[in-house]
């Protein structure tokens, strides 16, 4: 009985500490995942198009960096990831880094 009480107190303390942090993490992730817009770097060759169609069930839709930023600001949500060329993806990254530094 004497060993049970300290063990129970330790378990209760750990549960009390872990529960709020787990609840906080689940609340923080829910809104962020709702607004995520996936963008992939895609080639425009036939094999890539077939693979994309097999994975997502539709033809790939290519967007520019500017279109992706405008869609994010407007709150658009995509059912499948959009494709970009490597150059447009690099431009998107530089645009978001510039905005973060301001």
pLDDT in tens, 50-63: 999 999 999 999 99
Q: Which residue has the higher pLDDT, 85 or 26?
A: 85
CB count within 10 Å of CB 42 equals: 20
Q: What's the CA gap between 54 and 6, in Å, rounded?
A: 57
Q: Is residue 87 over pLDDT 60?
A: yes
Q: Look at the pTM and tell me if it is higher than 0.75.
A: no
pLDDT on residue 98: 64
Which residues make Cβ contacts (< 8 Å) with residue 70, sequence separation at least 6?
none
Q: Which residue has the higher pLDDT, 99 or 58?
A: 58
pLDDT recorded at residue 22: 47
């Amino acid at each position: 009985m004497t060993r049970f009480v300290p063990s129970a107190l330790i378990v209760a303390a750990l549960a009390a500490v872990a529960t709020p942090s787990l609840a906080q993490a689940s609340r923080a992730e829910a809104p962020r995942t709702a607004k995520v817009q996936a963008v992939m770097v895609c080639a425009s060759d036939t094999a890539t198009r077939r693979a994309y169609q097999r994975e997502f069930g539709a033809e790939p839709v290519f967007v520019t960096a500017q279109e992706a930023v405008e869609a994010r600001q407007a709150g658009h949500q995509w059912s499948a990831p959009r494709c970009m060329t490597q150059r447009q993806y690099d431009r998107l990254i530089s645009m978001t880094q510039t905005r973060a530094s301001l």
